[in-house]
Amino acid sequence: MLSHILRRLLVAIPTLILISVFIFGLQKLLPGDPVLALAGEDRDPETLNRLRDLYGLNDPIWVQFLSWAKGVLQGDLGTSIRSGIPVSQMIATKLPVTLQLAAMSMVFAIFIGIPAGIISAVRKGTKLDYAANVVALSGLSIPNFWLGIMLILIVSVKFHLLPASGYVPPTEDFWLSMKTMIMPAFVLGTGLAASLMRHTRSSMLTVMRQDYVRTARAKGLREPIVILRHAFRNALTPVVTLIALLFGELIAGAVLTEQVFTIPGFGKMIVDAVFSRDYAVVQGVVLVTAIGFIIMNLLADLAYVLLNPRLRGR
Amino acid sequence: MTNAVKATEDAILAKRPESRAWRKFRSHKSAIFGSVVVGTFAAIAIAAPVLPIPSPAATDWGAVRLAPSLAHPLGTDEIGRDIMSRMIWGARASLMAGVVSVAIAMVIGVPLGILAGYMRGWVDAMISRCTEALLAIPFLILAIALAAFLGPSLTNAMIAIGIAATPLFVRLARGQAINIAAEDYVESAHAIGLSTPKILLRYIFPNVLPPVLVQSTLTIASAIIAEASLSFLGLGQQPPDPSWGAMLNTAKNFMAQAPWMALWPGVAIYLVVLGFNLLGDGLRDALDPREE
């Protein structure tokens, strides 16, 4: 087990190095001179040069990369060229907002997607199954930012039930925080619920063809017990893996959801950074996202081994 | 006698995989529905220049934010442009973005994947590590980062989405090529002395194609959403050129005054994406030899 984890960690290293080279290279190709934007009206070449020296922009590119990579390894992602705040600090304040959004969306997705998938598989071929599939495919086809706009239109603008935008930390006012976050979480959760439903359904269908399910039925066990204890428990493994792998989709979806609901999170930060050509912030966000994705992959892998007793001995 | 031969021939032809796939596809109601939706949007997009509609850029300050009426079936926007006309021209942007970006991803990804899967060794290792690295960055985040560095425009959004989708095709083609390279007919082609490029082109490539076709249909759906997302964020189609995502971006500011501005682009994106998803699902079922 331990050697399995270590092996996976080792494989992640070259991937991380490639990602960092890629992210660093991307920044060097961004259009526009960050120093020009920073200097504002002052186009004095002397000032510009001093600023370039200050940010190390006059060094050879590989020196810039190495000093950046060294900083990253020490948790230093550079400084926002706009606000002067360290990127790691910005991420630390923005990330919890997005994590709250992500966690709430995931709860939605799990509580809608998994039961729907089970019912759909158990009632395969019925109208209910057909309807669930249509709804799931629609959930995958609706752009979530549009769903957000429509919900704001109906829930906030027309009926004044929930706030249309903004963010309140749960530590400040828990219920108000839930109230502002419930709509964005639902919007972000629909696509995930659809993915989960489709995967749960197909995983359940595979498992229910297995001999042990037939044996359980033959023993005279009641159908709910057969489905939940024998079939579902085994169908769950690939679904848990999928939940971890949906992380990337969750972050990407958060970018748009946060934009629609004006939530000051991680996703909104990258969009703002792109528009203000804040290189360090874009790099930091992409790098942190990639690291998060790799960690989630590792966890998915571990969960797979833990949930599957046949693999545990390895 | 000739009739008997003809009948046998027909029977053999009927058993060919293509016709079997086609039969399965035809019996797939939702796939047919998907094809009709996609076909309709494609026809509208192609016919846009000859349709009797007002110019999508023509402003009319006397007709600002009008609700749907006979003169403007879908209403007008914040500077009095006809929304139906902008929707129709926007279909061009969306469909083109979907098709072109997936074409870019296929043209780069499939050869790389085949090469990695057939050659194995260090070629495979290099291509695979790069693919994994790119796959670790979520599709849309990668597209946003690339679109940002290329500068905001529809062309650049298509390139960004295409590059972001490339690893999907590399991975798929690689896995497929590995399987096919192990087949007896490839080994015999090798044994009779066919050169590697000939084997790749004549034996590996055609067999990699069916799953790639399914994947490309489903990826067009994602690419259309990605283009709408980038345009919604202001990184895709630039004003005044119409695009569904950009229309939603503007509509967001007039939700209370002109809700119809936000309605139509979303419905259109939903329908087109649903169409491609249904088409892709249908193709997968039709081309999957296991489900006999």
Q: What is the pLDDT along chain B (292 residues), one digit of tens a residue?
A: 456 666 666 666 555 666 777 887 877 888 899 999 999 999 999 998 888 888 887 777 877 777 788 777 888 887 778 888 899 999 999 999 999 999 999 999 999 999 999 998 999 999 998 998 888 888 888 888 887 778 888 999 999 999 999 999 999 999 999 999 988 998 899 899 899 899 999 999 999 998 999 999 999 999 999 999 999 998 888 888 889 999 999 888 888 888 888 899 999 999 999 999 999 988 988 887 654 4
Question: In CATH, which superfamily holds the domain spanning A93-311?
Answer: MetI-like (1.10.3720.10)
pLDDT digits (tens, 9 = 90+) for A91-125: 999 999 999 999 999 999 999 999 999 999 999 88
Cβ–Cβ < 8 Å for A288, A303: no
B206 to chain A nearest CA, in Å?
Answer: 29
Tell whether B61 is covered by a domain: no
* Nearest alpha carbon to residue A15 among B83, B132, B215, B69: B132
Mutate which of A8, A15, A27, A146 to disrupt the B interface (most B C-beta within 10 Å)?
A: A146
Give A237's strand partners: none
φ, ψ (nearest 5 deg) of residue B82:
-75, 120
* Nearest alpha carbon to residue B232 among A101, A153, A257: A257
pLDDT of residue A170: 87
> Do A143 and B266 count as a contact with CB atoms less than 8 A apart?
yes
Closest partner residue to A286 among B137, B221, B262, by Cβ? B137
A109 to chain B nearest CA, in Å?
Answer: 19
Closest partner residue to A149 among B233, B262, B273, by Cβ? B262
- Give the residue on A whose Cα is nearest the Cα of B251: A149
- Which distant-in-sequence residues (6+ apart) come within 8 Å of B47 by Cβ? none
A131–chain B Cβ distance below 8 A for any pair:
no
A314, pLDDT greater than 90: no
The 3-state secondary structure of A14-27, one letter per residue: HHHHHHHHHHHHHH
- Give the residue on A whose Cα is nearest the Cα of B138: A248
* Nearest alpha carbon to residue B54 among B29, B77, B22: B77
Q: Which of residues 13-32 of A touch B (CB under 8 A)?
A: 14-15, 18-19, 22, 26-27, 29-31
B87–chain A Cβ distance below 8 A for any pair:
no
> Do B146 and A26 count as a contact with CB atoms less than 8 A apart?
yes
A242–chain B Cβ distance below 8 A for any pair:
no
Residue bearing tokens 């995502």: B245
Closest partner residue to A141 among B139, B146, B221, by Cβ? B221
pLDDT of residue B9: 63
pLDDT of residue A9: 82
pLDDT of residue B292: 40
Tell whether B178 is covered by a domain: yes
A14 φψ region: left (φ > 0), alpha (ψ -120 to 50), beta (else): alpha
A35, pLDDT greater than 80: no
A285–chain B Cβ distance below 8 A for any pair:
yes
- CA angle at B147 for the pair B56 and A261, rounded to the nearest 5°: 75
Tell whether B6 is covered by a domain: no
DSSP string, A17-54: HHHHHHHHHHHHH-SS-HHHHHHTT---HHHHHHHHHH
Q: Which two tokens mark A212?
A: 């042990």
Cβ–Cβ < 8 Å for A186, A104: no
Could you count the other beta carbons within 10 Å of the beta carbon of residue A160?
Answer: 9
B220–chain A Cβ distance below 8 A for any pair:
no
> Do A150 and B262 count as a contact with CB atoms less than 8 A apart?
yes
> Do B137 and A157 count as a contact with CB atoms less than 8 A apart?
no
- Which distant-in-sequence residues (6+ apart) come within 8 Å of B149 by Cβ? A26, A27, A29, A30, A31
A:B CB pairs within 8 Å: 126
| DSSP 3-state of A251 | helix
* Nearest alpha carbon to residue A87 among A268, A280, A251, A273: A280
A30 contact residues in B (CB cutoff 8 A): 148-149
- Give the residue on A whose Cα is nearest the Cα of B130: A18
- Give the residue on B whose Cα is nearest the Cα of A261: B252
Query: What's the pLDDT band for A41 if we cut at 50, 70, 90?
Result: low
Mutate which of A33, A134, A141 to disrupt the B interface (most B C-beta within 10 Å)?
A: A141
Higher pLDDT, A38 or A283: A283
> Do A293 and B136 count as a contact with CB atoms less than 8 A apart?
yes
Mutate which of B127, B130, B225 to disrupt the A interface (most A C-beta within 10 Å)?
A: B225
Tell whether B63 is covered by a domain: no
Could you count the other beta carbons within 10 Å of the beta carbon of residue B57?
Answer: 14
B209–chain A Cβ distance below 8 A for any pair:
no
The domain of B119 spans 32-43+82-287
Tell whether B159 is covered by a domain: yes
Number of domains in chain B: 1
Mean pLDDT value of segment A49-62: 77
Query: What is the DSSP-derived secondary structure letter of residue A265?
Result: S
Cβ–Cβ < 8 Å for B278, B34: yes
**CATH number of B216's domain:** 1.10.3720.10
A271–chain B Cβ distance below 8 A for any pair:
yes
CATH 1.10.3720.10: which residues of chain A? 93-311
Closest partner residue to A274 among B140, B144, B270, by Cβ? B144
Q: Which of residues 145-174 of A touch B (CB under 8 A)?
A: 145-147, 149-150, 152-153, 157
DSSP string, chain B: -HHHHHHHHHHHHHTSHHHHHHHHHHT-HHHHHHHHHHHHHHHHHHHGGGSS---TT---TTSTTPPS-SSSTT-B-TTS-BHHHHHHHHHHHHHHHHHHHHHHHHHHHHHHHHHHHHH-HHHHHHHHHHHHHHHTS-HHHHHHHHHHHH-SSHHHHHHHHHHHHHHHHHHHHHHHHHHHHTSHHHHHHHHTT--HHHHIIIIIHHHHHHHHHHHHHHHHHHHHHHHHHHHHHTSSSPTTS--HHHHHHHHGGGTTT-THHHHHHHHHHHHHHHHHHHHHHHHHHHH-TT--
- How far apart CA A47 and CA A42 sit, in angstroms, is 8
In single-letter form, the type of residue at position B77 comes to D
> Do B136 and A15 count as a contact with CB atoms less than 8 A apart?
yes
- The interface predicted TM-score of the complex, written ipTM, equals 0.85
Cβ–Cβ < 8 Å for A197, A132: yes
φ, ψ (nearest 5 deg) of residue B56:
-70, -10
pLDDT of residue B286: 85
- Mean pLDDT in chain A? 85
Closest partner residue to A251 among B141, B145, B266, by Cβ? B141
Burial A195-221 (b: 16+ CB within 10 A, else e): bbbbbbbbbbbebbeeeebeebbeeee
* Nearest alpha carbon to residue A25 among A55, A69, A90, A56: A69
Among A150-159, A186-195, B57-66, the range scoring the smallest mean pLDDT is B57-66
- Which distant-in-sequence residues (6+ apart) come within 8 Å of A282 by Cβ? A26, A27, A30, A270, A273, A274, B145, B148
> Do B228 and A143 count as a contact with CB atoms less than 8 A apart?
yes
Residue bearing tokens 């919900």: A151
> Do B277 and A137 count as a contact with CB atoms less than 8 A apart?
yes
B234–chain A Cβ distance below 8 A for any pair:
yes
Q: Please give the model's pTM, rounded to 2 decimal places.
A: 0.87
pLDDT of residue A312: 62
A287–chain B Cβ distance below 8 A for any pair:
no
> Do B145 and A152 count as a contact with CB atoms less than 8 A apart?
no
- How far apart CA A251 and CA A248 sit, in angstroms, is 5
Tell whether B12 is covered by a domain: no
Q: Which two tokens mark A31?
A: 């259009």
Query: What's the pLDDT band for A21 if we cut at 50, 70, 90?
Result: confident
Query: What is the DSSP-derived secondary structure letter of residue A75?
Result: T
Tell whether B4 is covered by a domain: no
In single-letter form, the type of residue at position A84 comes to G
* Nearest alpha carbon to residue A106 among A203, A232, A250: A250
pLDDT more than 90, % of chain A? 29
Residue bearing tokens 């942190």: A288
Tell whether B184 is covered by a domain: yes
- How far apart CA B215 and CA B199 sit, in angstroms, is 23
φ, ψ (nearest 5 deg) of residue B76:
-125, 165
